[in-house]
Structure 1
Amino acid sequence: MKRFSVALVALMAILTSLTSVNAGEKTGFTWKDHPEKKVADLYYNGNPVLQYVYPYDDSSAEKIHDTYKVFHHVYGPGSKAIITKGPGGKFTHHRGLYVGWNKTFFDGKQLDFWHCKNGAHLRHAEMIEMAGGPDSGTMTSEIHWNDAKGKPVIEETRKVTVTPIKVSTSKDPAWQIDWQTTLKSKRGEIKLDGDRQHAGFQFRAAQAVAEANNATYVRPEGFPQQPAPFQVSDKKDPNGHINLGWFAMTYEIDGKRYNVEYFEDPSVPKPSRYSERPYGRFGAFFNTKFDESKPLEMKYRVIVSEGKTPSQAEIQKRYDQFVAYLKK
């Protein structure tokens, strides 16, 4: 009987331990990497937040097309649904949260790391860090911007950190996504050029938004206040709609409204040209040069919420907090 009691106590201790582990996995931020699929998912309290998409397959033209870009999908807060677009659909090269330039000049050559034509591609090289805790989840990876021979032109270090925040218009926590990209040249002086539609750091909403073609926008005071996209041509008005600092896009998918606030580090090269489209792509770009001795650093904050669109004043307050954070 005594031996049975000891065994029972031991069994209960094991079960309690397992229960604690399972509960712990659903508390705070945790990462689940899937090396066979080349995707890594970030969870908050058991709900998906981000997906890092990093496969590269050059076995066929179709596989190359599907995997020539490293990007991040975003899940809707509370919905568990991906609200960004991957390969295919309207403008297949637009994928989630992504960065690239269609005109990258180096050593007398030019490559397109936006459309990824003529063999140019982004390829995951190394996962430097994946960490999760009660208050935030973060990852840092090394990504090579390669030429057609697979040799790196640019080495990108991408750090993405997510923190849940309270937004007055949403019952669920919003995702505060801090994005930091450092571009290091591997080929001497690099010149980044292009236009606001085909370069920079941008966000692309899911294909359903393109089919409805009804994304709307919020901007700071002193800029166009129309909800409809303010569309500018770089050829006709290259210095129109520049240096906003922030803007926000709002759209619906399956009856749920999502709001995406885009904050840019004020120290990026100027002018910073802003782009917005009704099908759900928006972001900003700039022209610049860098070399091995001085990498290019880019910092952004993207806030994703579900529910009624936040007011201009509320978004402005969060942008001001972002700028203050950068000065610390």
Structure 2
Amino acid sequence: MSSIETSAMLLALYRLAVLGLCSIFLLALTATTRADDAKFRWTDGPQTGTTDLLLGDKPVVRYMALPYDNSTKEREHDTYKVYHHVFAPDGTTILTKGPGGQFTHHRGLYCAWNKTNYEGKTDDFWHCTKGASQRHVKFLDKTADAQHGAATVEIHWADADAKPVIIETRSVDVRRAPARTTGWQIDWRTSLASQRGEIKLEGDRQHAGFQYRAAQVVSEQKSARYIRPAGFPDKPEAVEAGDTGDPPAHSNLPWCAMTYPIEGQQVTVCYFEDPSLPKPSFFSERPYGRFGAFFKTTLSADKPLRLRYRLVITTGEPPARDTIQKWFDSFAAELKVADAK
């Protein structure tokens, strides 16, 4: 083979190699573009009373609002509370727990007080005992686009006679997690309006407030670990505090994060609380994967209680403390701007 023929062959091989690399790049770019172009949308879930928020074709959150049914103890157990499940970005791994397992009343993202005191009696909307229940009434709004998906619902905290004690207006707004992370940012807005005059919301940090419960496998492995702001305990194990002391132990954290392994993924849930909520705010952490905050307050008939929280849920290496602090600072700044309007 002459040197000219050899050069021509090498040039042809070079061109083929370049074309191959370009094809691989274009395929990767197309896949990335398709993922970035995916839109949020709402659809009916797999069961009656469930509603899914999808990103593309993958579920992100599932609103669990099965119609209340006390025809049997089993049906009542499954339907006495509404809550939200959260999925990993893979669209198949459910990160939160439903009925059953350790503490069956702990379910996904949920909000309740075990001591709801009014008219000389107490209802327990945490455990939903003695006929107390949280019942979905209707959707007030649903919206979704390429940036986010949001829904607002009306929920009745009903007594044993099915009459509302509190009417909750709950808005959940979901979008992608901050840049350079994979996961979700969930803004939780709840308004609690008394239907029975003055209501005292009381209890303790283990049985009240807005809380997150990880999937049952976390309980079986006792695998939940925690990250906290500067000035609070550095140990990764759960801080299991009581409610005594002045101020009470482990209270008034601006944020707290829980991290746990599930289905080969490391998941971190960053929990941000509105700084303007009543104090002290008692934080609860458990090795089995439930955490959140609670406070005591009084609802008046003419002034609903406004609750505002943000969860940033990511997969992969847990975010650094400084990163979480920046996310919280951004959340707090957004609330200030909103309140100034």
Provide the residue aligned with 2:90 in structure 1: 78
Provide the residue aligned with 2:295 in structure 1: 286
User: Which of 255, 268, 283 pairs up with 1:246?
Assistant: 255
CA contact (8 A) 1:68 1:121 kept: yes
Any idea what SS the aligned residue of 1:66 has?
helix
Do residues 109 (structure 1) and 121 (structure 2) align?
Answer: yes
Report the CA distance between 1:233 and its aligned residue: 1.4
Report the CA distance between 1:47 and its aligned residue: 1.5
User: Which of 62, 78, 90 pairs up with 1:66?
Assistant: 78
Do residues 179 (structure 1) and 188 (structure 2) align?
Answer: yes
Q: Which amino acid aligns with 1:112?
A: D
Describe the superposition over 1:228-274 as per-residue Cα deviations: whole angstroms up to 9, x where unpaired.
Answer: 11110125787010110101000011221100000000010000000
Provide the residue aligned with 1:87 in structure 2: 99
Do residues 51 (structure 1) and 46 (structure 2) align?
Answer: no
User: Which of 323, 331, 338 pairs up with 1:322?
Assistant: 331
Provide the residue aligned with 1:202 in structure 2: 211
CA contact (8 A) 2:140 2:154 kept: yes
Provide the residue aligned with 1:295 in structure 2: 304
For 2:140 and 2:107, the matched residues in 1 are separated by 22
Provide the residue aligned with 1:151 in structure 2: 163
Report the CA distance between 1:213 and its aligned residue: 0.5
Q: Which amino acid aligns with 2:84?
A: H
For 2:179 and 2:86, the matched residues in 1 are separated by 17
Provide the residue aligned with 1:188 in structure 2: 197
Which deviates more, 84-93 or 158-167? 158-167
> Do the aligned partners of residues 194 and 312 (structure 1) sit closer, same or farther apart at CA in structure 2, a change above 3 Å counting?
same
CA contact (8 A) 1:112 1:120 kept: yes
Describe the superposition over 1:50-90 as per-residue Cα deviations: whole angstroms up to 9, x where unpaired.
Answer: 00000122211110011111000000123521110000000
RMSD of aligned alpha carbons: 1.7
Q: Which amino acid aligns with 1:84?
A: T
Report the CA distance between 1:29 and its aligned residue: 0.5
Any idea what SS the aligned residue of 1:196 has?
coil
**Which blocks of at least 5 consecutive residues in structure 1 are unaligned?**
1-22
Provide the residue aligned with 1:313 in structure 2: 322
Report the CA distance between 1:290 and its aligned residue: 1.1
For 1:237 and 1:78, the matched residues in 2 are separated by 45
Report the CA distance between 1:210 and its aligned residue: 0.2
**Which blocks of at least 5 consecutive residues in structure 2 are unaligned?**
1-33
> Do the aligned partners of residues 210 and 36 (structure 1) sit closer, same or farther apart at CA in structure 2, a change above 3 Å counting?
closer
CA contact (8 A) 1:241 1:274 kept: yes
Do residues 32 (structure 1) and 40 (structure 2) align?
Answer: no
Q: Which amino acid aligns with 1:104?
A: T
Provide the residue aligned with 2:280 in structure 1: 271
Report the CA distance between 1:44 and its aligned residue: 1.0
For 1:74 and 1:282, the matched residues in 2 are separated by 15
Deviation >6 Å, runs of 4+: none
CA contact (8 A) 1:77 1:304 kept: no
User: Which of 231, 245, 253 pairs up with 1:222?
Assistant: 231
Between structure 1 and structure 2, the one with the greater Rg is: 2
Provide the residue aligned with 2:266 in structure 1: 257
Aligned residues: percent identity? 53
For 1:223 and 1:95, the matched residues in 2 are separated by 27
Any idea what SS the aligned residue of 2:237 has?
coil
For 1:327 and 1:236, the matched residues in 2 are separated by 31
For 1:49 and 1:207, the matched residues in 2 are separated by 19
TM-score by length of 1: 0.89
Provide the residue aligned with 1:125 in structure 2: 137
For 1:270 and 1:235, the matched residues in 2 are separated by 14
Any idea what SS the aligned residue of 1:327 has?
helix
Provide the residue aligned with 1:5 in structure 2: none
> Do the aligned partners of residues 36 and 43 (structure 1) sit closer, same or farther apart at CA in structure 2, a change above 3 Å counting?
closer
Describe the superposition over 1:79-129 as per-residue Cα deviations: whole angstroms up to 9, x where unpaired.
Answer: 521110000000000000000000000011101000001000000011111
Q: Which amino acid aligns with 1:113?
A: F
Q: What number of residue pairs does the alignment pair up?
A: 302
For 1:29 and 1:82, the matched residues in 2 are separated by 18
User: Which of 89, 98, 106 pairs up with 2:110?
Assistant: 98
Do residues 213 (structure 1) and 222 (structure 2) align?
Answer: yes
TM-score by length of 2: 0.86
Q: Which amino acid aligns with 2:48?
A: K
